[in-house]
Amino acid sequence: MSLTDDVGRYLDHLTVERGAATNTVSSYRRDLTRYLGYLAGRRIDRLPEITCADVREFLVELRRGDPDRSIVPLADSSIARTLVAVRGLHRFAVAEGWTDVDVAHEVSPPRAPRRLPKSLPIDHVARILDAVGTDDTPRALRDRALLELLYSCGARISEAIGLDVDDLDIGARAVRLRGKGGRERIVPIGGPAADALDGYLVRGRPALAAGARSVSVGPGVFLNARGGRLSRQSAWQVLASAAERAGIAETVSPHTLRHSFATHLLDGGADVRVVQELLGHASVTTTQVYTLVTVNTMREVYATAHPRAR
């Protein structure tokens, strides 16, 4: 049985028995085709001939590329994804009895550099929120409420557009968010966000609901001009337009507001575990990356302000 046949049977297993998504199978096929090309260059055409060193050298080649073969170097994240496909193939081969040793089991993916979350200075956030406008059109009321909410409680964009009216308790200044894994949490919101939401629910949402194409309007808080739930893309555009009007040069996404929310809380002295609960992180380790941002900020301030910093 050739390596190409082995890969074909593994992909069939993913499709038929594992029920993998079409995009997942396509990704695995692309990565394993690259693996087959590498092995062919080493004159390896059977699974039992592959060694752990071959798999490690494959990752090295992915990182450095090969100008002679027009192979472009891959990012660490892409290499890690490719290794998942290679590991899956070898694990399946052992389970099926095609080979006795899983040579990819001990091979580790490259560790991607830790990227610090991007956050905005407080005055930049204020400029964006002010740029939404002060008129009382239904759309402006909605956009103002959306952006105030995102920054006030650090909600993910999916959590914000997934809000139902019953999830809001304006009087108590709290909202119920549904996070990853179906986990729910109650988070507080500030006065400006509560006021913006109250104004939108009283004067903005009814007008948008009136434009619904059907008699029944869903329970969603943030509606589009047709009375349906606001889409993720439209919510992104609301923020992008406000940032542009505010004169913010860098790219700003809803997650930027979430990062800014966390960073500004920690800068203000909030406990990291409280921030963890507010963000809905399952582990405090995920939240602790924001502490690195605040330390970096302190270093920058120290370097520019202290007379003997250099």
Topology annotation, domain 3-96: DNA polymerase; domain 1 (1.10.150)
Active-site annotation holds for 226: no
Q: Torsion-angle region of residue 152: left (phi > 0), alpha (psi -120 to 50) or beta?
A: alpha
Mean pLDDT across the stretch 161-188? 90
Q: What is the pLDDT of residue 183?
A: 84
- What does the pLDDT read at residue 236? 93
* pLDDT attached to residue 63: 86
Q: Please tell me the pTM assigned to this model.
A: 0.61
pLDDT score of 157 more than 80 = yes
Instruction: Express each pLDDT in 219-270 by its tens digit.
Output: 899 999 888 899 999 999 999 999 999 999 888 989 899 999 988 988 888 8
Share of the chain above pLDDT 90, in %: 53
Q: Is 255 a catalytic residue?
A: yes
Is 124 an active-site residue?
no
- Mean pLDDT along residues 138-161: 94
- Which is catalytic among the residues 10, 151, 200, 290? 290
Would you kindly state where each structural domain of the chain is located, as residue ranges?
Answer: 3-96, 122-305
Mean pLDDT of 45-49: 91
Which of 90, 142, 173, 258 is catalytic? The answer is 258
- The tens digit of pLDDT for each residue in 68-97 reads 655 678 888 888 889 999 999 999 999 999
* Pair type for strands 184-188 and 168-169: unpaired
Does residue 52 carry a pLDDT above 90?
A: yes
CA atoms of 253 and 235, how far apart (whole Å): 10
Selected catalytic residue, list 90, 156, 173, 205 = 156
Structure tokens at 114: 């830790």
Judge whether residue 115 has pLDDT over 80. no
Cα three-residue angle 188-274-155, rounded to 5 degrees: 50
Using one digit for the tens of pLDDT, what is the confidence trace for 138-147? 999 999 999 9
Percent of the chain topping pLDDT 70: 88
306 in catalytic set: no
Q: Which of 30, 69, 180, 226 is catalytic?
A: 180
Domain 122-305 belongs to what topology?
A: hpI Integrase; Chain A (1.10.443)
Confidence grade of residue 112 (pLDDT, cut at 50, 70, 90): low
Active site residue 156: yes
* Rounded CA separation 221/253 (Å): 20
